[in-house]
Amino acid sequence: MHKVKGVVSKGKNQPVSVETILVPDPGPGEALVDVLTCGVCQTDHHYVEGGVGNDYPYLLGHESSGVVSAIGEGVTEIAVGDHVILNWRAVCGECRACRKGEPWYCFATHNATQKMTLEDGTPLSPALGIGSFAEKTLVAAGQCTKIEADLEPHQYAAVGLLGCGVMAGIGAVLNTGAVKRGESVAVIGCGGVGAAAIAGAALAGATTIVAVDLDDEKLATAQKFGATHTVNSRQQDPVETIRELTGGFGADLVIDAVGIAPTFKQAFEARDLAGRMVLVGVPAPGTSWAIPLDEVFGRGGSIKSAWYGDTLPSRDFPMLVDQYRLGRLDLDGFVTERIGLGDVEEAFAKMKAGTVLRSVVEIAPAPGAADSLAAQSEASVAAPVGAAR
């Protein structure tokens, strides 16, 4: 049993707190992970607000990188010392989705069997089956995707974001939307997930990428990730402007990264004939829109929702880490600030205000960090006074 610190939500809409938690050694099929970094995601705040369930207390955090410190019986796909990205789609290989070759839809994903607890023995419900706002966490071994590439210490914060929000946006374009080189893409809503969708469109080779938002700062950020045009929907009609920017036809693919009725309607109407639209923004319960069936038939194409960007971590994470290392995917651009475990409540406020893409909690020194600091110290001592560094 391991006694560590973790960020816990004890009740609906209560401030989160750093608590001492107990993490068991891994049992069969499980892995114990020393957490390096964890992004502050909107989903974590949904747990705080009671939007996911009422199984308090929750151990928050799920968007993480880490190092495997122990494995349980029968675990062969990872080993102690492996650097990993955590995911919440540990496929079972046996459900009806897996059996028909669509494991990214797995309907019976694995989590750890044993419970992490508070010091008094109260069981914790880990967010998305991970719970990684903690120094250590216990997960199913399949929730660990090995990082084969050598990374610099500061890069673990960026690649850990593939565990949820960034992957959701990129996957909505690459997987669900199946964008092709030369196509046009419009993204409505340019927060973290929308910005990731824009980055995914650029990575896929889209030639016209239209970013739509109410906030000029978010639109400027969207341009950094690859948007070729921006539309402030306070000042311009987004549907008409998207059509103007695509030869009068509409975009081949439109992503709704907001998830409210007006943006869904805009995405539906901004498509070209036979175009696709993908809903990746999470709607509030009960959100609805009257669908004109004659237009559904007349426009053709498809209307889809993206579950985690239809992501298969074993396939997608390594590929995207490679694209990041090659300079084709700016994951560093999503890391707005680096904070500690005690700063999560403040980070939620910044997230709600829209002033950050991602606050990332740095929980432990990344591999190589100590060596890097030692080298810098030695260089500082060795350098003559006044020498350029």
192, 169 contact by CB (below 8 A): yes
pTM for this model (two decimals): 0.90
Which residues does 209 contact at the CB level (< 8 Å), separation at least 6?
184, 185, 186, 187, 198, 201, 202, 226, 227, 228, 229
Cα distance between the two ends of the chain: 46
Residue-wise pLDDT for 209-235, tens only, equals 999 999 999 999 999 999 999 999 999
Q: What is the pLDDT of residue 125?
A: 97
Residue 385 has pLDDT above 50, yes or no: no
Bridge partners of 33?
Answer: 68, 137
Would strands 208-213 and 229-232 be described as parallel, antiparallel, or unpaired?
parallel
Helix or strand holding residue 216 (H, E): helix 216-224
The pair of three-digit structure tokens given for residue 366, joined into one six-digit string: 């990344």
Q: What is the pLDDT of residue 285?
A: 84
Rounded CA separation 31/148 (Å): 18
- With CA atoms as reference, report the closest residue to 31 among 107, 82, 101: 82
Rounded CA separation 139/274 (Å): 42
Q: What is the pLDDT of residue 384?
A: 35
Q: What is the pLDDT of residue 282?
A: 87
Rounded CA separation 260/258 (Å): 6
59, 124 contact by CB (below 8 A): yes
Residue-wise pLDDT for 16-59, tens only, equals 999 999 999 999 999 999 999 999 999 999 999 998 889 999 99
